[in-house]
């Protein structure tokens, strides 16, 4: 590990009075999530505009440490770093068609000559442009090129501080191979490199199978830092190592056995009962006895999707099943206009014939006996609805979102569900961009073939936020040592006791000289202030020099995470810290 790389030089240490660490006693009104609050309060971050932030010295050190870990692991895997511009010309985006596809998420600007540009939300186009111009032969492959820099997305609603910002730092690596087999190798390398990166960052994470979505291509994995505040939901098997995004995980139908015989269809009044819960309670039936009918606009055409009342429609599966490019939920007005039924009273009975729309149902719905569903008439539902007799569908498919209790597709053990923060994703892009942009090589047989690509991203600033989200207590942040802004803080209890100050100074100098990443709190503040700040900022190790230390020569060492306190002589200090910090940074690898 090359610490000298860090700007600011951890070799020389730092004094609190020399830098800027504006900690806040109160929680700023603008922040609602823990990571956002703590990063602001710990003096690491300040907002400039919605979703746009300044990283103060301490915050920037964390970012640099994460970047450095990423660099080392990308390089270890054979990656080579380069730098691309933030401003990108529109032309290249027109070539792949993404200038129009990207929509309002893209920051656009114009130069004085009226030429269109954008602030790069990603760099597939640019990197592929370089490759198509410079790489002509399979002999030049494989290539793994990466960059770490700011990216821009004009989010509809930036929130959660660094978690969903409009300007953020990303590492993107692009792999270029002559064939699918090569891509497989590159992908595996990245998979392993990513695991190492997040382990080294000291994060509790899971790798999950995900849906490729808009970016296109084949296999993809997401790297999720587990945290209750995460935006994504993942399921993982309790017995094997299978894990997946809830959108992706396949679901077997879970049939609830019924002894009943089909009874005659019956319309019942359900005034003002719209939601599944309301209707189920009103009629005294369990919610899984209901058929929920959801309307979507799929490539401009309406489609009705049926799932059991206790299930959630999985738009990704709907989209994939229909081979559609866009799936949008219909608005209340659209449903009213197209079907003349207010939300809450739609059902499959007669829907297909009357409105001539496509109806698809989740497997589970098929097995319902005497189900309840909307009667397509305001204020009424049907009871005793049965598949085949009362309604037909165009197809049955797996269309719901997985959850805890669903069964693992590999070993049939039940899933557990958790929330996570997506900090990385790896994709097999295939030839989508290389074809669109004409990035080809001549292969061994002299035949021109499109380069097979992969892309691999890590949200650096988001990783920082995720680390805080996962590692904090009521007093503040608890940085994993490998990404802490400083590893050790030295605090003299009394700034007026010259013996203490001299000893603290000595300890600080010796740690800095030994290459330990140390900061010295030399402010003429009361001890309580410095202790509070140390806890808030979350330095892994705190060294306090008080009267006791002056008298018996033993300095107090307190670990932020475990709250463990121990005492060492000045001579023991450096070796102790060196080995224990090294251990705590590496034990995750």
Partner RNA sequence: CAGGGUGUAGCUCAGCUUGGUUAGAGCGCUAGCUUGGGGUGCUAGAGGUCGCGGGUUCAAAUCCCGCCACUCUGACCA
Chain positions contacting RNA, by CB under 7 A:
23-30, 32, 41, 47, 49-51, 156-160, 274-277, 292-295, 307, 309, 312-315, 329-330, 332, 335, 343-346, 374, 401, 475, 493-497, 524-529, 531-536, 544-549, 556, 558
CA distances from 254 to 132, 147, 285, 367 (A): 50, 46, 18, 9
User: 41 vs 200, which CB is nearer to RNA?
Assistant: 41
User: Do 106 and 121 meet the contact criterion of CB atoms below 8 Å apart?
Assistant: yes
Closest separation in Å from C-beta 122 to RNA? 21
Closest separation in Å from C-beta 569 to RNA? 15
Locate tokens 């703590």: which residue? 38
Closest separation in Å from C-beta 411 to RNA? 26
User: 105 vs 134, which CB is nearer to RNA?
Assistant: 105
User: 4 vs 563, which CB is nearer to RNA?
Assistant: 563
User: 465 vs 545, which CB is nearer to RNA?
Assistant: 545
User: 192 vs 332, which CB is nearer to RNA?
Assistant: 332
User: Do 488 and 541 meet the contact criterion of CB atoms below 8 Å apart?
Assistant: yes
User: 160 vs 223, which CB is nearer to RNA?
Assistant: 160
Residue among 447, 426, 430, 433 nearest 132 (CA): 433
SS3 528: helix
User: 439 vs 466, which CB is nearer to RNA?
Assistant: 466
User: 133 vs 150, which CB is nearer to RNA?
Assistant: 150
β strands within 101-211, DSSP E: 108-110, 116-119, 143-152, 167-177, 205-209
Q: How far apart are CA 264 and CA 550, in angstroms?
A: 90
Closest separation in Å from C-beta 315 to RNA? 6
Closest separation in Å from C-beta 526 to RNA? 4
Closest separation in Å from C-beta 377 to RNA? 12
Closest separation in Å from C-beta 337 to RNA? 12
**Inter-axis angle of helices 57-76 and 460-470, nearest 10:** 110
User: Do 291 and 306 meet the contact criterion of CB atoms below 8 Å apart?
Assistant: yes
Q: Is 172 exposed, middle or buried (0-12, 13-18, 19+ CB in 10 A)?
A: buried
User: Do 413 and 407 meet the contact criterion of CB atoms below 8 Å apart?
Assistant: yes
User: 157 vs 356, which CB is nearer to RNA?
Assistant: 157
Q: How far apart are CA 129 and CA 436, in angstroms?
A: 11
Closest separation in Å from C-beta 457 to RNA? 22
Angle of CA points 556, 561, 562, to nearest 5°: 70
User: 206 vs 558, which CB is nearer to RNA?
Assistant: 558
User: 142 vs 158, which CB is nearer to RNA?
Assistant: 158
β strands within 178-290, DSSP E: 205-209, 220-226, 232-237, 243-245, 266-269
Q: How far apart are CA 334 and CA 499, in angstroms?
A: 78
Q: What are residue 208's DSSP bridge partners?
A: 222
Distance of CA 297 to the CA centre of its chain: 28
Closest separation in Å from C-beta 113 to RNA? 26
Query: In which order are the strands placed within the sheet that holds 358-362?
Result: 327-329, 291-298, 301-308, 358-362, 395-397
Closest separation in Å from C-beta 318 to RNA? 9
Closest separation in Å from C-beta 441 to RNA? 42
Return the number of other C-beta atoms located less than 10 Å from residue 239's C-beta: 11
Q: How far apart are CA 351 and CA 359, in angstroms?
A: 8
User: 172 vs 533, which CB is nearer to RNA?
Assistant: 533
CA distances from 393 to 100, 166, 388 (A): 35, 43, 8
Closest separation in Å from C-beta 25 to RNA? 4
SS3 226: strand
């Amino acid at each position: 590990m090359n610490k000298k790389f860090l700007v600011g030089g951890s070799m020389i240490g730092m004094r609190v009075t020399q830098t800027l660490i504006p900690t806040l006693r109160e929680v700023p009104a603008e922040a609602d999530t823990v990571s956002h609050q703590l990063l602001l309060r710990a003096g690491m971050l300040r907002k400039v505009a919605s979703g746009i932030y300044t990283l103060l010295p301490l915050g920037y050190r964390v970012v640099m440490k994460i970047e450095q870990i990423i660099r080392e692991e990308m390089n270890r895997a054979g990656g080579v770093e380069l730098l691309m511009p933030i401003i990108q010309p529109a032309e290249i985006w027109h070539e792949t068609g993404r200038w129009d596809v990207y929509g309002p998420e893209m920051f656009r600007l114009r130069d004085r000559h009226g030429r269109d540009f954008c602030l790069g939300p990603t760099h597939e186009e640019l990197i592929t442009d370089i490759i198509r111009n410079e790489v002509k032969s399979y002999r030049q492959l494989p290539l793994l090129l990466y960059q770490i820099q700011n990216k821009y997305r004009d989010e509809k609603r930036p929130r959660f501080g660094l978690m969903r910002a409009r300007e953020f730092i990303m590492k993107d690596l692009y792999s270029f191979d002559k064939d699918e087999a090569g891509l497989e190798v590159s992908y595996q390398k990245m998979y392993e490199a990513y695991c190492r990166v997040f382990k080294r960052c000291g994060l509790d994470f899971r790798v999950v199978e995900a849906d490729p979505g808009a970016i296109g291509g084949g296999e993809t994995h997401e790297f999720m830092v587990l945290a209750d505040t995460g935006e994504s939901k993942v399921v993982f098997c309790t017995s094997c190592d299978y894990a997946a995004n809830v959108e992706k995980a396949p679901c077997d139908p879970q049939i609830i056995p019924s002894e009943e015989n089909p009874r005659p269809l019956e319309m019942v009044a359900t005034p003002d009962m719209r939601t599944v819960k309301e209707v189920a309670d009103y009629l005294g039936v369990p919610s899984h006895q209901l058929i929920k009918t959801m309307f979507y606009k799929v490539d401009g055409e309406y489609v009705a999707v049926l799932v059991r009342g206790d299930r959630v429609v999985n738009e990704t599966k709907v989209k994939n099943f229909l081979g559609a490019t866009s799936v949008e939920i219909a608005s209340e007005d659209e449903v009213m206009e197209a079907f003349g039924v207010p939300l809450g009273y739609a059902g499959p009975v007669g829907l297909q014939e009357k409105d001539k729309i496509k109806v698809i149902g989740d497997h589970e719905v098929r097995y319902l006996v005497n189900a309840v569903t909307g009667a397509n008439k305001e204020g009424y539902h049907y009871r005793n609805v049965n598949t085949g007799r009362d309604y037909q569908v165009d197809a049955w498919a797996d269309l719901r979102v997985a959850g805890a209790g669903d069964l693992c597709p590999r070993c049939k053990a039940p899933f557990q569900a958790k929330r996570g923060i997506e900090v990385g994703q790896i994709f097999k892009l295939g030839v989508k961009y290389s074809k669109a942009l004409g990035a080809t090589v001549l292969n061994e047989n002299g035949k021109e073939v499109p380069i097979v690509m992969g892309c691999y991203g890590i949200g650096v600033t988001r990783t920082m936020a995720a680390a805080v989200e996962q590692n904090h207590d009521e007093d503040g942040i608890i940085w994993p040592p490998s990404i802490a802004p400083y590893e050790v803080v030295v605090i003299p209890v009394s700034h007026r006791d010259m013996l203490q100050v001299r000893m603290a100074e000595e300890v600080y100098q010796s740690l800095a000289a030994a290459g330990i990443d140390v900061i010295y709190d030399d402010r003429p503040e009361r001890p309580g202030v410095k202790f509070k700040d140390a806890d808030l900022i979350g330095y892994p190790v705190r060294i306090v020099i008080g009267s006791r230390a002056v008298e018996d020569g033993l300095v107090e060492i307190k670990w932020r995470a475990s709250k463990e306190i121990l005492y060492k002589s000045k001579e023991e200090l450096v070796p102790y810290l060196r080995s224990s910090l090294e251990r705590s940074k590496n034990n995750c690898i």
